[in-house]
Amino acid sequence: MSAGLSNAYYPRASRTGGATALHFVTSWIGTGLGDLAPEFWPDSQRHFRLYRHPLGNLRHRVRHIISRRFGVMSIGCNLKMMSMNRMTGFTIFLLTACLLPAFSGQHQKEARSSGDPWSAQQLIQPRVLADWLASERPKPVILYVGFPVLYRSVHIPGAQLAGPCSKPEGIALLRSALTGIPNDQDVILYCGCCPFQRCPNIRPAFEELRKAGFFHVHVLDIPTNFDADWVKKNFPIDKRAGS
């Protein structure tokens, strides 16, 4: 009866005669084992420990006497806790070793830009810019802030010459190029004359736009140079001399 009543709140598919019978059998077996195990466990222990080494029983008796007489944890328990602490430390070490590589890439990217005036979100990858230019989205203003000889050789289509910003005349050319551009316009700055971290032009250009009040400024991430990171990857180029 208890098996039938316990099925009352189950869905209809679980209240069939077969399901009730199965529940009755499993409950009967579980209850029987639960009652029989405590009854016969001491006899089972004596049977399986018949040939146990005498020192083993002596060790158990010593631990029992110490815990009963002095109310303290036995030496064996202390050693067991020390072993568990070692296992816990080893587990933490393994978790750290497994999780560290997952965060290392993001950490390196943030560390690389930590000394720059822009944030990691203001860096734009070449592939992202190439897809942007090929899409139907409104095009950004692209300003080349490097050396004129490189611009006249090859540049991104639609880019304006506004440099070199490492020199006062380049900053003046950049200010001239910004005339008439609203402050909320998307602006892409790039150079690519040399490895990104040593570029003498990109940082002064970014500072100038920030002082001018532009807040949608992005810097094209060119780790090596424009030829390796843009031209040789078959992104769109313009070889006309331009302005």
Calpha distance 109→107 (Å, rounded): 5
13 assigned to some structural domain: yes
138 in any annotated domain? yes
For the cut 60, the answer to whether the pLDDT of residue 75 exceeds it is no
Give the CATH number of the domain where residue 221 resides.
3.40.250.10
Domain-located, residue 151: yes
Whole-number pLDDT of residue 231: 96
Check pLDDT > 50 for residue 112.
no
Out of 33, 51, 69, pick the residue that ends a domain.
51
For residues 23 and 19, what is the distance between their CA atoms, to the nearest angstrom? 6
Residues 33 and 125 both lie in one domain: no
* 125 & 228 share domain: yes
Residue 73: inside a domain: no
- Residues of the chain above pLDDT 90, percent: 49
How many angstroms separate the CA atoms of 24 and 124, rounded?
66
> At residue 51, does pLDDT exceed 50?
no
Q: Which residues contact 140 (CB under 8 A, 6 or more apart)?
A: 132, 185, 186, 187, 188, 218
Q: Considering the domain boundaries, does residue 46 fall inside one?
A: yes
Say yes or no: 127 and 226 in one domain: yes
Instruction: Give the pair of three-digit tokens for residue 180.
Output: 């008439």
pLDDT digits (tens, 9 = 90+) for 1-26: 555 555 554 555 455 666 666 666 56
Residue 177 lies in a domain: yes
Query: For 158-206, how does the pLDDT look when each residue is reduced to its tens digit (9 = 90+)?
Result: 999 999 999 999 999 999 999 999 999 999 999 999 998 999 999 999 9
Give residue 6's domain range.
Answer: 2-51
Q: Which amino acid is at 171?
A: I
Place of tokens 């709140």: 9
Tally of domains in the chain:
2
